[in-house]
Amino acid sequence: MKQNEIVNDIVYKASMGRLLVMYTQIDYLIMRAVAERIADAPDDESRLFMAKQVGDESRHVRIQQSWIKKFGTDTTPVFGELQQEMFLQHFRSLSWLDFLTDMYVCVEALGSEAVEQVVPMADPGTRQSLKTPLQDEIDHVAFGLGKLRDELSKLPEKKCSAYLESIPARLDFLDDTLHGLGIDVPAMFNAVGADYQEVVQTVLQRRQQILDELAQPLAA
């Protein structure tokens, strides 16, 4: 291996390690936030699904933790205690409708979209470790978007349009919060060979696609 290849390899591993730790912590926080929310979910279908999701996220955490161990990189948490508490507090404070938006559109749908962008650049072991988690996320997103659509259909048309228009601002707020935590996400993505600007573009396209889909029953 040439000198610069060795350096690139070290930088790749360290950054991928950080991304994996971050992803695992988010799964863990999703597990806890969803578990807390089961108690006041509005219907049995939601309670049953969310209980399954809690099991899925727990499995994702296990898979990722054991992969990170084998990968051999730094396991120091990316999010500190206070940041984790802020995350849980945020989700506790939300109405059911806002919970669906923040959890399933922002964290689940757009978060896994960002992770998907990293998969092609990842080493085979990392790619394998992401397979089951990313497969399950499709289910979680389908549930969340379905429930969100149900809730929106209960609103008067004007309120519903106003809510849809407010979604990008909710997502921007969460995104700004992540950046505000001083976590240099662009640097982590770039270091593993993903063009961060492209990742952002893809995530924004997915966001628009979700918003268009949510708006559709209105037009029908």
Q: Which residues sit at the interface with Fe ion, rule CB under 5 A? A: 27, 57, 60, 133, 137, 140
Q: In sequence order, which ranges of 72-123 are alpha helices (DSSP H)? A: 81-92, 96-100, 111-118
| Minimum distance, C-beta of residue 140 to Fe ion, in the bound complex (Å) | 4
| Minimum distance, C-beta of residue 107 to Fe ion, in the bound complex (Å) | 8
Select 103 or 160, whichever has its Cβ closest to Fe ion.
103
Select 17 or 133, whichever has its Cβ closest to Fe ion.
133
Q: Which of 136, 158, 40, 21 shows the shortest CA–CA distance to 94?
A: 40
| Minimum distance, C-beta of residue 126 to Fe ion, in the bound complex (Å) | 15
| Minimum distance, C-beta of residue 60 to Fe ion, in the bound complex (Å) | 4
Q: d(Cα 118, Cα 69) in Å, to the nearest integer?
A: 20
Q: Compute the half-sphere exposure of residue 61: CA atoms within 13 Å on the CB side of its CA.
A: 14
Beta strands in 25-66 (DSSP E): none
Select 56 or 151, whichever has its Cβ closest to Fe ion.
56
Q: d(Cα 142, Cα 218) in Å, to the nearest integer?
A: 19
Q: d(Cα 30, Cα 8) in Å, to the nearest integer?
A: 32
